[in-house]
Amino acid sequence: TATAPALEARGLSVGYGAMPVVHEVDLHVAPGEVVALLGVNGAGKTTCVRALAGDLKPLRGEVRMNGERVQSPLHRRAEHGLRYISEERSVFMGLSAADNLRLGGTDQGRCLELFPELEPLLGRKTALLSGGEQQMLTLARALSVDPQVLIADELSLGLAPLVLERLLLAVRAAADRGGAVLLVEQHVRDALEVADRAYVLSHGRVVLEGDARDLRSRVGEIERTYLAGA
Ligand code: ATP
């Protein structure tokens, strides 16, 4: 029998109050895959991944991990091996970088193995680090547990291209170790470089899905059709 996807949405509708802004989305991420979720601002990407992560309750449809329906809230999904990096940076600004890498039983040694460039920053207060360094702390913490599923929403928000590339390669490596990664990303071309597959959301619906290689070969057309401003 085929292995069940690590993460799956079936007929997922999500909204605020009773009004859906995400409509009947089907998507899946297999172990070892990086899947990009693309779309203009307001397309519903964040709403969709918040439901997948258990941060919003779906109006309809279901979320499955390894073939089993999950209904637990966000804080319980870590037990299923899920890590979620939201758009808001989740580092503690008042703490040192070292303390951020030790919080909640985080394995600081593993974090430094994944991101050796964090070593010289350990003694600094997190608020004084660059946005990229703060995001690296966030990603290091998430990846240090070798999550079965990583959902990352706009990892790259406001980061320099080289930092973005570094983070995306770390995400790719996590998938190569067997994790399933769902990546919301504004930088379509960069995302397609590391992704295996992608879905494009428009007005809360999946309007296109395909292999990253295929989508890369017609990225200009895709940007004009689906991603050119709202
Ligand atoms: P962005 O890249 O700007 O985050 P997105 O594709 O992630 O865009 P969403 O943030 O999911 O899109 O927004 C989809 C729709 O839901 C938009 O019309 C938005 O205004 C609405 N929306 C988002 N968050 C809320 C909220 N907390 N309450 C009510 N409506 C919301």
Atom nearest to 204 CA in ligand 1: 14
Q: How many residues does the chain have?
A: 230
Give the distance (Å) from ligand 1 centre to CA of residue 43: 7
Question: From atom 17 of ligand 1, which residue's Cα is the shortest distance away?
Answer: 42
Question: From atom 3 of ligand 1, which residue's Cα is the shortest distance away?
Answer: 41
The binding-site residues of ligand 1, defined as CB within 6 angstroms of any ligand atom, are: 16, 21, 39, 41-47
Reply yes or no on whether the pLDDT at 2 is more than 80.
no
5-22: per-residue pLDDT in tens?
999 999 999 999 889 999
Give the distance (Å) from ligand 1 centre to CA of residue 22: 10
Reply yes or no on whether the pLDDT at 153 is more than 80.
yes
Reply yes or no on whether the pLDDT at 86 is more than 70.
yes
Would you say 68 and 8 are in contact if contact means Cβ atoms under 8 Å apart?
A: no
87-97: per-residue pLDDT in tens?
887 889 999 99
184-219: per-residue pLDDT in tens?
998 999 999 999 999 999 999 999 999 999 999 999
pLDDT of residue 230: 45
Q: Give me the mean pLDDT over the 107-112 stretch.
A: 96
Q: Give me the mean pLDDT over the 53-80 stretch.
A: 92
Instruction: Dig out the tokens for 26 from the structure.
Output: 């089907």
Give the distance (Å) from ligand 1 centre to CA of residue 89: 17
Give the distance (Å) from ligand 1 centre to CA of residue 60: 18
Q: Give me the mean pLDDT over the 38-63 stretch.
A: 96
pLDDT of residue 80: 87
117-139: per-residue pLDDT in tens?
999 999 999 999 999 999 999 99
Reply yes or no on whether the pLDDT at 81 is more than 60.
yes
Percent with pLDDT over 90 in the chain = 84
Cα-based torsion angle of the residue sequence 74, 8, 217, 155 in order, rounded to the nearest 10 degrees: 10
Which among 46, 52, 84, 200 is the best mutation to test ligand 1's pocket, defined by most ligand atoms within 8 Å of the CB?
46
pLDDT of residue 191: 95
Rg of the chain, C-alpha, whole Å: 17
pLDDT, averaged across the chain: 94
Q: How large is the ipTM?
A: 0.94
pLDDT of residue 90: 81
Which among 12, 13, 16, 50 is the best mutation to test ligand 1's pocket, defined by most ligand atoms within 8 Å of the CB?
16
Give the distance (Å) from ligand 1 centre to CA of residue 44: 6
Would you say 178 and 209 are in contact if contact means Cβ atoms under 8 Å apart?
A: no
Reply yes or no on whether the pLDDT at 229 is more than 80.
no
Cα–Cα distance for residue pair 88/55, rounded to 1 Å: 13
Provide the 8-state DSSP code for 1. Answer: -
Phi-psi map region of 57: left, alpha, beta (phi>0 left; psi -120 to 50 alpha)? beta
- Give the amino acid at 145: V
pLDDT of residue 228: 82
